[in-house]
């Protein structure tokens, strides 16, 4: 069993910590920022003999120093430049080369969406090119919107959404046009499969076979027969009925 002798020093320290300090001990433990006149009085003008140029207040030394007459060095006005290719493909994610964001006025300046009636007249290559132009436009708008949210600019979201809606309308119209052409192509394949003049299993030069319906015909002889029929009809046609003849003398 442990004796009580080692516990006595710890009890003594605990009792000393709980004693109330006297006035003399309280004056000795005063902090430096106390409001006592003798403690708050400054020894020098700024309480710091080694005071130099303040980077916070941009003020020089309040007392002249040995280096006071020497001007401070100024940083070199140098900005490193890197070669930038303005035709690089990554600029497609930005409104313009070297420009991260459009203003709301510039974003609103756009046309309307393409309609299905207009796209029906376009070729396959034109529709393919227009589709990827719309994809590039949407990527640019998504980059601009992400920049607005990251920088918390607070404006421009509505204009970007309006422009993106017009681009999506054009892409839906392209899908509609291509779907119509696909259905038309399927119908044409079904009709061609039943046509004896068309061989879908043949090569490129053997698909169309017009000899299934037409025999060898002498076209000169056919034309001569048509001319003879026209002449016979012209000679046997009855005269036209000119109606009742009225003498000019009876007209007064």
pLDDT in tens, 49-64: 555 566 676 666 666 7
Q: What is the pLDDT of residue 44?
A: 52
Mean pLDDT of 246-251: 41
From residue 247, alpha-carbon distances to 30, 244, 250, 252 in Å are: 149, 10, 6, 11
- pLDDT-derived band at 147, boundaries 50, 70, 90: very high
Q: What is the pLDDT of residue 214?
A: 55
Reply yes or no on whether the pLDDT at 137 is more than 70: yes
Q: Compare 159 and 225 and report the one with higher pLDDT.
A: 159
- Name the helix (H) or strand (E) containing 39: helix 37-40
Reply yes or no on whether the pLDDT at 139 is more than 80: yes
Reply yes or no on whether the pLDDT at 13 is more than 90: no
How far apart CA 189 and CA 194 sit, in angstroms, is 9
Q: What is the pLDDT of residue 55?
A: 65
Reply yes or no on whether the pLDDT at 6 is more than 80: no
Which 3-state string (H, E, C) describes 96-138?
A: ECCECCCCHHHHHCCCCCCCHHHHCCCCHHHHHHHHHHHHHHH
pLDDT tens digits, residue range 149-204? 999 988 899 999 999 999 999 999 999 999 999 999 999 989 888 887 777 777 76
Domain boundaries, the chain: 92-193
- pLDDT-derived band at 22, boundaries 50, 70, 90: low
* Phi, psi for 45 (deg, rounded to 5): -65, -45
- pLDDT-derived band at 74, boundaries 50, 70, 90: confident
Reply yes or no on whether the pLDDT at 15 is more than 70: no
Percent of the chain at pLDDT > 90 equals: 33
Reply yes or no on whether the pLDDT at 37 is more than 70: no
């Amino acid at each position: 069993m442990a004796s009580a002798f080692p516990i006595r020093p710890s009890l003594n320290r605990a009792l000393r910590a709980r004693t109330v300090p006297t006035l003399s001990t309280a004056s000795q433990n005063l902090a430096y920022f106390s409001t006592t006149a003798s403690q708050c009085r400054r020894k020098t003008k700024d309480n710091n003999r080694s005071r130099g140029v303040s980077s916070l207040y941009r003020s020089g030394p309040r007392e002249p120093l040995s280096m006071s007459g020497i001007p401070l060095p100024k940083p070199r006005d140098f900005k490193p430049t890197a070669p930038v290719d303005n035709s690089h493909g990554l600029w497609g994610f930005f409104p313009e080369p070297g420009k991260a964001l459009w203003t709301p006025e510039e974003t609103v300046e756009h046309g309307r969406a393409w309609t299905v009636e207009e796209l029906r007249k376009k070729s396959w290559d034109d529709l393919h090119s227009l589709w990827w132009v719309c994809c590039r436009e949407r990527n640019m708008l998504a980059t601009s919107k992400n920049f607005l949210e990251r920088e918390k600019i607070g404006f421009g979201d509505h204009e970007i959404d309006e422009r993106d809606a017009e681009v999506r309308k054009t892409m839906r119209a392209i899908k509609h046009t291509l779907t119509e052409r696909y259905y038309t192509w399927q119908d044409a394949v079904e009709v061609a499969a039943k046509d004896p003049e068309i061989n879908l299993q043949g090569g490129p030069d053997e698909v169309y076979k017009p000899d299934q319906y037409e025999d060898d015909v002498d076209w000169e002889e056919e034309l001569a027969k048509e001319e003879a029929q026209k002449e016979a009809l012209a000679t046997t046609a009855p005269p036209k009925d000119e109606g009742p003849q009225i003498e000019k003398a009876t007209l007064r």
